[in-house]
């Protein structure tokens, strides 16, 4: 009933918004949230496409894994951001360029 294209359009829009959010925000924490948006958009795309192709379960398995890994990634990433914050008391992306080549 719901056309699969609909889900996909939603996924694309969410992904692009996630990208824009990443570049528009200035602090690391919010930028990280934008990454999560992108991951979710990808999840949606996986589900829709796998169901469209006829093997819905595999898509769900993949989404399952992505969620798990995203959780672990969020943990470690937040720990790192916390350290970064501890160093300089600022979490703005613009203040961090010590690795200039």
Partner 1 sequence: MAIFLFVVLSFFTVASVTAMIVSRNQAHNALLLVFAFSCLGGVFGLLDAPFVAVAQIIVYAGAIMVLFLFAIMMFGSGANSPLEKMPAVVAAAVVLSVILLIELSAAFRAVLRPPGSFTGAASDPAELGDLLFTKYLYPFELTSALIIAGLVGAVVLGKKKGEE
Partner 2 sequence: MTDFFWLIPVLPAVSSFILMVAGRRLPKKYISAQACLAVLVSFIISLLGWLRMAGADARTVPWIKPLFSWIAAGSFQARFALQWDPLAGLMALVVTGVGFLIHVYSAGYMSGDKSYARYFALLNLFTFAMLLLVMASNIVLMFVGWEGVGLCSYLLIGFWFEKPEAAAAGKKAFLYNRVGDTGFLAGILFLWAAAGSAEFLEIDASLASGRVSPALITLIGLLLFVGAMGKSAQIPLYVWLPDAMEGPTPVSALIHAATMVTAGVYMVARMNVVYRLSDTASSVVAVVGAVTALFAATIALVQNDIKRVLAYSTISQIGYMFIGCGVGAYAAGMFHLFTHSFFKSLLFLGAGSVMHALGGETDMRKMGGLRFYLPRTYPVFLIGSLAIAGIPFFSGFFSKDAILTQAFLRGGLFVWILGILTAVMTAFYMFRLVFLTFFGEERFEPGHRGRIHEPPPVMTFPLAVLALFSTVSGFLWIPEVVGGRAPWFSRYLGSVIPPGTESHPRALTEWALIIVSVAAALTGIFMAFYLYRRRPALPHQMVRRWPRAYRVLVNKFYVDEVYRSLVINPVVRASERLHEVFDLGVIDGAVNGSARGAGLLGKALNLLQTGYVKDYALAFFLGAVLILGYFLLF
Calculate Rg over the CA atoms of the chain.
17
Place of tokens 């890994």: 69
Nearest distance in Å: CB 20, partner 1: 6
Measured distance between the N- and C-terminal CA atoms of the chain, rounded to whole angstroms: 54
When asked if residue 38 is in the footprint of partner 1 (CB under 8 A), the reply is no
Span 15-54, contacts to partner 2 by CB under 8 A: 19, 22-23, 28, 31
When asked if residue 42 is in the footprint of partner 1 (CB under 8 A), the reply is no
* Geometric angle at alpha carbon 26, from 20 and 29, rounded to 5°: 90
CB environment 48-69: b (16+ within 10 A), e (fewer): bebbeeeeeeebeeebeebeee
Comparing CB distances to partner 2, the nearer of 34 and 63 is 34
Place of tokens 């703005």: 92
When asked if residue 89 is in the footprint of partner 2 (CB under 8 A), the reply is no
Write the interaction track for partner 1 spanning residues 60-99; mark x where CB under 8 A is met and - where it is not.
Answer: xx-xxx-xxxxxxxxxx-xxxxxx-xx----x--------
Name the residues that contact partner 2, by CB under 8 A: 19, 22-23, 28, 31, 93-94, 96-101
């Amino acid at each position: 009933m719901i056309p699969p294209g609909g889900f996909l359009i939603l996924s694309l829009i969410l992904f692009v918004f996630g990208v824009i959010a990443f570049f528009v925000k200035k602090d690391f924490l919010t930028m990280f949230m934008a990454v999560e948006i992108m991951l979710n958009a990808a999840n949606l795309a996986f589900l829709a496409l796998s169901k469209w192709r006829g093997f819905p379960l595999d898509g769900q398995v993949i989404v399952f894994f992505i969620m798990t890994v995203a959780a672990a990634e969020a943990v470690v990433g937040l720990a790192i951001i916390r350290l970064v914050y501890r160093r300089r008391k600022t979490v703005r992306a613009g203040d961090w360029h010590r690795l200039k080549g």
